[in-house]
Structure 1
């Protein structure tokens, strides 16, 4: 008895919790038994429970007793002086609820929704028990008179009644908890749940008949998280009863576990895999770039556009009467997902720097950049600043990594020190790599501009890949158009990114000039510079962003340099061929000198044959440049040869002498010129003639 009093005193003002694991094992005797209300509990032959009233009056129904409970709870204060002892109908109500719970223990409780009337009756009963518990705990000491008892008896009777209600409530709440869990998890089997499918590369799978991406997001928003209106109404009812009965912690725990598991399933459907920072350092970048990073990007976008808003609406609907609770549950759930995604971003930024990682880093950077402004409308005010700080930090690390990688292009150029010239004066692999890299970078121009502007100051002063500043004299001289107008050297508009691009271009030009000197043939050396220069110019012009960044002045300067290389090439080759067709010293005193004429034809044939044999192995992959070169050569050589042949071929003796010295007709020259620059060695023209 003393222990019971201590327990009661300790829990005064709180919702009692029974220390007993299974309330069925206790069989507290109803308080205030009378001849009219006393009932016996016996076991039938089937193991069930039978209530045997001793009187002949019909057994009370739970509906009728519930009405008595409701009337009592409503009218107690007004009828305090007229009230009778309440233990009779309270005990009858508790007996009936216990009977129902015992039946559930033996037969199993029907799942929610199988018997709608059963669901409603059970909810109402649990709600009345909770109200009774609160009412009796707070009011009985001063408001209830139980006759024929002394003070100690009143205290003991009250304690036993409250404890009995607490035990019944605990049993009922355990079933209600299962109902709540069932309702939360039932949606997973909903065949109508159809989130955006992805190809695990961060892109939605789409057919020609499908609608644009933004409309798909709207459809997904309507479908997520997949609960019907009726399910949400039921969830709200169950949650309300659990919270009202003081079982809010159990309710919240079930909700969090269920929704966390559902969120994990959603992330898996999007292709995102959990991977620690340590594991990320060991995974091959090809795997990360091909599968994991695109899935991360898609997951983050879907979370921001669909999942977070869906989860927020669900929490607000289930806990509509407790907005602070809804906000707290949503914050805890979504924050865990966000931190998990941000850990991946930071882990990626910590991997070893390599050029092929830049654009994936920029994709991730853009994802974070675009999500951060939406945080205010997605998350409660109390957690927005924390998430903004975390996201901004992850974005900064990606930005720093991107700058380091881009600036490392300088080292890529400097470290290329091969002493063997590229065969045929072709475009150097270094040129292709750098220009293709810059061409792709053009697609990220705005992002790179932002990254260099916001994060380049973070680079250490002693960094080997530190961005160069806009006051670089070489950049000013080159006339880089920081805004796209070709300002001819107005360095005030040169952005840090534009300055860095120009620095890369300068180093590439210097490297190519050194490689051109590896060719002993002056013509081939200039051909190499023309070939590579043309490739560079076409790549810049092929990207509107890069063309805007470099400016018109830079493009005009580059075009002028290409014309110079072309002139020197032509002077060292085809001008020498045409020089063989000069009329000088052919006509002496009005008479054509045949020995000189024969030597001219012979020199032309030999030189043309040699150039054709050599330059047919030279390489021009740019079809437009290849065509332009052939046209320019034909324009120089063919008219001169046709004129020379038409004027002097008649002075050669017909027959063997003509065949010996006049090896080509004008049409033959044109055909052979068309064989130049395809990188394929052709059989000597002389051998074809024999």
Structure 2
């Protein structure tokens, strides 16, 4: 007699009655018509016994909801009427217990049938009740059907089919299956059989959620196992997780929440407990993985960006996570996602500290041939360029991280960092500090060059590379135009010092006034000095490298302006002063065009001095 004490029923009998069934409730509690009782029981018995699988082979192999939607709704209405009658019989102490027992027997048969139908609809419509179909359907038909309230003429059914005609066939089937499930759930809950209904739902849907999570590559894994993984293996798992969290939040859990809310809309407590039991384990497993990664001891450079990717993913989906897992019973899921965010932010800070330490500890003394780019410069700027792409996330992570480094940097350095429009002063300070650490390291490495001019070229090359990477990335928005301008000025200073030291003796070999009158001997001596100094400078500088095209042109223009232009005037004025043609060939080894050609070949990193030596040898030989 369990249904007589249905404690799980969420609405009272009088609240759940439809207007068309009000005749039962309007009958006086004592002395209501015996014929009405018999009529209600007979009507219910006719359809319930027709679909009794114990007595009918047809009912055993046929689905009521699949065979006839109209008859299925009639079955539901008969069960609801039977339940209302049982409530009246219980409240009327003078009624006969025989009718109550008969009604109870019919109710048990009906509930058994509805359990079978509920299980069958869930099982047969797995493809149509997948989270993606449910999510799509929900935005178009949610709230359109109250499931159990089908009219006698089937108008609600036709209304749903009309909606279905405007969407895909899959969505239509999904919509109908959800409505059927709600009809059965409402009926069973009202009849005191909520436990049986929920049990079936939980078993089937939890399996679907767990299967979905597994197919997305999420598995239960311990921290010790994570710690023992090679980075390449762990990196693949992180990539799988990044894809899985997107599908899980937007489709898997969202679809399940929608389905659960729809089917059990009659009871807030049931839909909450049901969804919590189905999704809690899988969701906690999903959002617990980032915490394990954050705690792992492996810290290759790529880990920083994977950690930031995971932090970004949870942050972007946080509103959906809060909405889907809004129940108190699913608060553990929200807490796990939040705790993973905390651990990921701690990992980012730790990785930034480790990265700075790596730069600080670099003690290599190997000199870069030709004063080119140091690998440390390339590595750090690539790292910071990628890091700047996460500036919006880094604002949150390091907003409350004390800028202890600031005390080690001149105040003027910070005044030039960023601008009034800078969105992230904290991250700008951190990045500016890391660049300053690099520049200090480069300054110490430049001192290893025996040729001072080469050390200046080395500094100019590396600082220009830093600025170039800043200009083409989000670093420019963080550091600001003023920072870029000040460091460009330093590049110009380094380049000017290189030109002065490397080519100064060439400049000095020419008279300050190239058009001043000279004796033939003085002119010959001046040409001789220039030849010697230019050959020496060219030979030394032929191996120099300037990777940046703009800087290369700037240096060439600077040299050309001080050498070629002055030599052109001297050449035009004193070529005839040297003497006859043989003397000209002997002392005037270069025409102005030759100098321009030679300079154009400099700073490529692959200029050979063989051609230059051959030209000089040919000139001397022809003169002899």
TM-score by length of 1: 0.71
1:474 aligns with 2:400: no
Aligned to 2:263: 318
Separation in 1 of the partners of 2:324 and 2:519?
95
Structure 1 residues 177 and 82: CA distance shift in structure 2, 3 A = closer
Question: Residue 371 of structure 1: CA displacement?
Answer: 3.3
Q: Which residue of the partner structure matches residue 64 of structure 1? A: none
Contact kept? 2:321, 2:334, Cα under 8 Å: yes
Measure, in 2, the Cα distance between the counterparts of 1:624 and 1:674. Answer: 13
In structure 2, what is the Cα distance between the partners aligned to 1:449 and 1:371? 18
CA spacing shift, 1:414–1:90, aligned 2, 3 Å? same
The equivalent of 1:176 in structure 2 is 117
For residues 111 and 518 of structure 2, the distance between their equivalents in structure 1, rounded to whole angstroms, comes to: 130
- Paired residue for 1:687? 614
RMSD between aligned alpha carbons? 4.2
Once residues 363 and 96 of structure 1 are traced to their aligned partners in structure 2, the CA distance between those partners, rounded to angstroms, is 57
1:530 and 1:562 in contact (8 A); partners too: yes
Does the C-alpha gap of structure 1 residues 222 and 444 become closer, same or farther in structure 2, counting only changes over 3 Å? farther
**Is the 8 Å Cα contact of residues 581 and 600 (structure 1) preserved in structure 2?**
yes
2:479 corresponds to which residue?
Answer: 550
What residue number does 1:650 align with? 576
User: How many Å separate the matches in 1 of 2:388 and 2:40?
Assistant: 84
Partner of 1:38: none
Match of 2:349 among 403, 416, 426: 403
Structure 1 segment 530-679 matched on structure 2, within 5 A: 530-543=460-473, 545-582=474-511, 592-594=519-521, 596-679=522-605
Q: Looking at both structures, which has the greater relative contact order when contacts are Cα pairs under 8 Å and sequence separation is at least 6?
A: 2
Counterpart-to-counterpart distance in 2, 1:382 and 1:224: 33
Report 1:258-277 matches (<5 A).
Answer: 258-264=204-210, 271-274=216-219, 276-277=221-222
Structure 1 residue 402, shift from structure 2 partner: 0.6
| Conserved 8 A contact 1:331-1:380 | no
What is the CA distance between 1:620 and its match in structure 2? 1.7
Q: 1:105 to 1:404 in 2, by over 3 A?
A: farther
Identify if the C-alpha distance between structure 1 residues 188 and 609 changes in structure 2 by more than 3 Å, giving closer, same or farther: farther
1:109 to 61, 85, 105: 61
Q: Report the Cα distance in structure 1 between the residues aligned to 2:537 and 2:169, rounded to whole angstroms.
A: 72
Judging by fraction of residues, say which structure has more helix: 2
Q: Distance in 1 between matches of 2:51 and 2:28?
A: 27
C-alpha separation in 1, matches of 2:77 and 2:37: 23
* Contact 2:47–2:75 (CA under 8 A) maintained in structure 1: no
How many angstroms does 1:602 deviate by?
Answer: 3.2
Of stretches 121-130 and 354-363 in structure 1, the one that deviates more from structure 2 is 121-130
CA distance in 1, matches of 2:275, 2:51: 38
- Retained in 2: the 8 A contact 1:272–1:292? yes
- 2:447 maps to 517
Alignment match, 1:444: 390
Aligned to 1:47: none
The alignment's TM-score, normalised by the length of structure 2, stands at 0.78
1:361 maps onto 2:304 in alignment: no
Please give the alpha-carbon distance, in whole angstroms, between the structure 1 residues aligned to 2:471 and 2:120: 66
**Partner SS for 1:346:** helix
Deviation string, structure 1 residues 59-113 (Cα, Å, up to 9, x no partner): xxxxxxxxxx999998694545866996997699389717842355577422342
The answer to whether the Cα contact below 8 Å between 2:76 and 2:184 also exists between their aligned partners in 1 is: yes
- In the alignment, what sits opposite 2:49? 97
- Distance apart, 1:637 and its partner CA: 1.3
Q: How many residues align?
A: 570
Contact 2:288–2:337 (Cα < 8 Å) also in 1: no
**CA shift digits 1:627-667 (9 cap, x unpaired):** 22222221221111111211222133444332232222211
**What is the CA-CA distance between 1:541 and the residue it aligns to?**
3.1
Counterpart for residue 438 of structure 2: 508
After TM superposition, give the deviation of residue 557 of structure 1 in Å.
3.4
Partner Cα separation in structure 1 for residue 551 and residue 493 of structure 2: 15
Give CA-to-partner distance per residue, 1:160-193, whole Å, 9 cap, x none: x588557635642442333342365251589989
Structure 2 portions without partners, runs of 5+: 8-20, 137-166, 619-624
Q: Report the CA distance between 1:688 and its aligned residue.
A: 3.8
**Bigger Cα displacement from structure 2, 445-454 vs 271-280:** 271-280
**1:342 match:** 287
Matched residue SS, 1:187: coil
Q: Equivalents in 1 of 2:104, 2:577: separation in Å?
A: 134
- The CA deviation string for residues 518-555 of structure 1, in whole angstroms up to 9 with x for no partner, is 11011111110111111122222333x43343345543
Q: 1:369 to 1:583 in 2, by over 3 A?
A: closer
- Gap regions ≥5 residues in structure 1: 1-7, 17-68, 147-156, 196-220, 458-466, 488-492
Contact 1:376-1:384 at 8 Å conserved across structures: no
- Structure-2 separation of matches of 1:328 and 1:233: 21
Q: String of CA shifts for 1:218-249, please: whole Å, max 9, x gaps.
A: xxx99998854322221111212222333322
The answer to whether the 8 Å contact 1:194/1:223 transfers is no
